[in-house]
């Protein structure tokens, strides 16, 4: 018989009079498995009866929901005898990645990352695992896990290991879907770095691209960093669903998610370096402009000074009546300006 959770009372079935559409509006899949073999059509009303009857090791019910209404979650709470606090978290749908234990039921929250256009969408996958059942609830995650079910059903020997095998398949898929996102972020950084040292690059646009990249990297990191802790705890957990043959598989998942985290850590450092480089190039560009303005200011100052002196028209200025005064003054302006231009050109100020 199934062990009841403390503080959670079984409520009588009261769904017979409800609309069938309401019961299945967000029900993605519901199936029972014995010895890794999917059983004939299985109704959600039969879940509690299946769990109450003696079952061989590895036998289980696997239900998948997508953004279910509270009424459907309440039905799942009745059938699986779930703790009300876990159901409350799932109803809210905005939880941090975590693993909690309510009696004999594990409650795991994972974050998923999907790219929609130019934006990342942070979704959630809530997983309830008992000795003979798995319940998954997706929030804001359009990509489902039908492929996980299909792959596991094609390997009945592995699926016969029970809910632990399903949990591994789900977490492994979540982690594998993060690899392309991490690679995409690295490719975007490479593309930005190739343009940073191009003199024609719009520095403002480069700064905007770097900011967008850092924002997306942070979104992926929010999903990956807590996942390392969750996988580490699952690897050493003593729950009955973690049968010994499954340990190497969970260790492999932990290795994968650790690699992604290390990649994102390196990416964050490189993004910071690229940002600092772009800011340094902006400062250098402003310094170049300042030097050019200073150089041309000095060049134009020479004829201005000479012209100002000779423009005073004092009565006793000897050069005023000198035959060669004008050409000498103009020549002096040109020569001095040319000399300064050549000097500033040599030191790359103009």
51-84 pLDDT per residue, tens: 888 888 888 899 999 888 888 888 888 888 888 8
Residue 341 inside a domain? The answer is yes
Query: Residue 104 in contact with residue 130, Cβ under 8 Å?
Result: yes
Q: Which domain holds residue 302?
A: 288-346
171-192: average pLDDT: 89
Residue 212 inside a domain? The answer is no
pLDDT score recorded for residue 329: 78
DSSP, collapsed to helix, strand or coil, labels residue 56 as coil
Residue 299 inside a domain? The answer is yes
pLDDT score recorded for residue 169: 92
207-220: average pLDDT: 86
Q: Rounded to 5 degrees, what are φ and ψ at 103? A: 65, -120
For the chain, how many structural domains are there in total? 2
pLDDT score recorded for residue 10: 35
Residue 166 inside a domain? The answer is no
Rounded Cα–Cα distance for residues 94 and 73 (Å): 16
Rounded Cα–Cα distance for residues 279 and 338 (Å): 35
Mean pLDDT in the chain? 80
CB contact set of 4 (below 8 Å; sequence gap of 6+):
10, 81, 103
Same domain, 4 and 148: yes
CA–centroid distance for 338 within its chain: 59
> What are the pLDDT digits (tens) for 254-304?
999 999 999 888 888 888 877 777 777 767 666 767 777 777 777 778 788
> What are the pLDDT digits (tens) for 94-146?
788 888 888 888 999 998 888 877 777 888 899 999 888 999 998 888 888 88
CA nearest 101: which of 123, 127, 65? 127
> Domain boundary residue among 131, 153, 175?
153
Residue 109 inside a domain? The answer is yes
Rg over alpha carbons for the chain, rounded to the nearest Å, is: 36
Residue 293 inside a domain? The answer is yes
pLDDT score recorded for residue 134: 92
Sign of CA dihedral 150, 154, 158, 162: positive
CATH, residue 7: 3.30.460.20
> Domain boundary residue among 100, 126, 153?
153
Residue 198 inside a domain? The answer is no
CB contact set of 350 (below 8 Å; sequence gap of 6+):
292, 295, 296, 299, 341, 344
Note the helical H segments in 163-246: 163-176, 178-196, 203-236
Residue 100 inside a domain? The answer is yes
CB contact set of 217 (below 8 Å; sequence gap of 6+):
185, 264, 267, 268, 271
**Virtual torsion, Cα 177, 178, 182, 188, nearest 10 deg:** 50
Sign of CA dihedral 219, 220, 223, 226: negative
């Amino acid at each position: 018989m199934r062990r009841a959770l403390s503080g959670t009372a079984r409520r009588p079935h009261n769904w017979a009079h409800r609309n069938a559409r309401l019961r299945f509006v967000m029900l993605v899949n519901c199936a029972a498995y014995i010895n890794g073999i999917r059983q004939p059509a299985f109704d959600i009303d039969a879940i509690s009866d299946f769990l109450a009857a003696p079952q061989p090791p590895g036998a289980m019910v696997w239900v998948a929901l997508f953004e279910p209404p509270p009424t459907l979650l309440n039905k799942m709470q009745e059938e699986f005898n779930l703790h009300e606090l876990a159901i409350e978290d799932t109803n809210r749908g905005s939880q941090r990645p975590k693993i909690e234990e309510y009696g004999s039921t594990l409650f795991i929250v994972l974050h998923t990352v999907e790219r929609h256009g130019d934006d990342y969408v942070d979704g959630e996958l809530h997983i309830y695992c008992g000795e003979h059942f798995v319940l998954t609830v997706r929030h804001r995650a359009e990509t489902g896990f039908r492929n996980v079910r299909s792959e596991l059903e094609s390997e009945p020997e592995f699926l016969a290991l029970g809910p632990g095998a399903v949990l591994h398949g789900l977490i492994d898929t979540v982690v594998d879907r993060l690899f392309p996102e991490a690679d995409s972020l690295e490719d975007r950084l490479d593309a930005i770095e190739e343009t940073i040292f191009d003199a024609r690059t719009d520095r403002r646009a480069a700064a905007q691209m770097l900011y967008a990249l850092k924002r997306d990297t942070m979104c992926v990191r929010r999903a990956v960093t807590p996942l390392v802790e969750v996988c580490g705890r699952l690897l050493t957990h003593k729950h009955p669903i973690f049968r010994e043959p499954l340990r190497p598989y969970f260790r492999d998942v932990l290795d994968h998610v650790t690699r992604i985290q290390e990649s994102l850590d390196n990416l964050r450092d490189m993004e910071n370096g690229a940002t600092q480089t772009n800011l340094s190039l902006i400062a250098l560009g402003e310094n170049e402009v300042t030097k050019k303005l200073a150089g041309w200011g000095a060049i134009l100052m020479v004829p201005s000074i000479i012209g100002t002196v000779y423009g005073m028209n004092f009565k006793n200025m000897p050069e005023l009546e000198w035959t060669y005064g004008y050409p000498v003054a103009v020549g002096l302006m040109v020569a001095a300006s040319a000399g300064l231009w050549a000097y500033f050109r040599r030191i790359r100020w103009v």
